[in-house]
Structure 1
Amino acid sequence: MARQGTHTQDRINVAIDGPAGAGKSTVARMVASRLSYIYVDTGAMYRAVTWYMLREGIGPDDHELVRQTMRNLVIELVPGAEGQQVYINSEDVTPHIRSLQVSSQVSQYAKLEPVRTRLSQLQREMALGRGVVMDGRDIGTTVLPDAEVKIFMTASVEERALRRFKELGGKEQISLEQLENDIAKRDRLDESREISPLRRAEDSFLLDTTSMDIGQVVEAIVSRCRAYVDGERNHL
């Protein structure tokens, strides 16, 4: 259903990809708000699955049990006053999915075929109505290859680690150096996995945010989206 004041033909899907710690989720949420679009945090979905598997004692090497579990999982993203809430089987798991334990294990589960297949299916269904901003690592290449605007957000490992360090705000006992090592390791895992590895879509716009603040990044993406819509409208 089109939003009030927005013509359906003017709504596009926006794919924002990039490595860990690039700030994709924060930026994507703000871009969606500016455009009055729906924000889909795919990273939160993978984190939620990881948290659930860890709680249930299901290791990433237990492929058949992972496959069976994914068939029965109900995952929902619900807008809330403090941001998007993530539910698994009607349980709000939002407070648990940003822990270091989940962060250190999410790549191990995210590379599994039954996990990626099921979540990619759910993500495509969320984008059917258009007017969606979705961030992740394989959105422009695998999940939404037909997205009208594709952005590949990146930044130096040092800058991404510093951002994550500030985000944690001392809540976790971890050094900046360890965060740099963890992010570099996550990059290697994401880029080398067999299924939907992290890579830049050929038709995406490369946005290096190392020396940009959040406002500048959001403005650059919103401007690109509006330019696309205006260009399409002029061709009608």
Structure 2
Amino acid sequence: MSLSLCDEPRRRWPHPPGRVVVLLIALAAVLLPLGVPVPTQAAPKPPTAPWPVPVPDLEQWPPYERNKRPPYCTDQSGPWQKQVERHLKLRTDGRQSPQDCKAIQRFQQYYGIRHAVGYAGRVTWGTAVLLDERAHPNRGRRCPRTGYSLICVDLTRQLMWVQRAGKVTFQARPIRSGAPKYRTRTGWYRIYARARHHRSTLYGNAPMPWAQFFSSGQAFHGHSGSMYAPPGSHGCINMRPADAAALWRKAGQDARVYVFGRKPA
């Protein structure tokens, strides 16, 4: 796959820096006698809150209820009913009850999941997994502990993170890996090419922002669609654009990558 790596133009001062300083001093000398406040440097911003869990996705509709519109609570069990019940500490029997639906609906509303009708679909379950695992995604130690920074990709849980010496340095993010006919390859890799504004040369010039290639054309890159939309990508690791940009800043050329697991059917 051919890559067109683009360099950003350097920023240039519209005027020499010394001239700008002289102009600012002259302006202050004129304004101070008039009592006009001179703008001062803004105070440093407080530290940002911990990484949030944005959920810009629509939950799938329960079967046979596409003509209904919220607000209502479905009586149908979702494909991830047991898992969501377990996460919410409900009775884990895999069967929807009015109490289950209300609890799931509250969870969906709290995290901004649209189509919040209490159906335990792929977006609700994916959000629950992210909440459980984002700070400690390697409890099972399937991603090896190394002395260097390592990008870990878990196809089974559809998550990625970065760790070093067993410590998570980049909390888990949701991903969308390859569809059954375009499986994401497992194993050890390195980032061998990066292109901030890449477009696919194979799939209709599709945009691939923040692309970081690790295996014969397969790359981490931003994707504007849902992370939970089936069946999957053409083999790349799709990420939400903001997450792909954050990984771009965190990783770099020759960063090590370990891909493991198998995407659920």
Q: Same fold by TM (over 0.5)?
A: no
TM-score, normalised via structure 1 length = 0.23
TM-score, normalised via structure 2 length = 0.21
Pick 1 or 2: higher relative contact order, CA cutoff 8 A, min separation 6.
Answer: 1
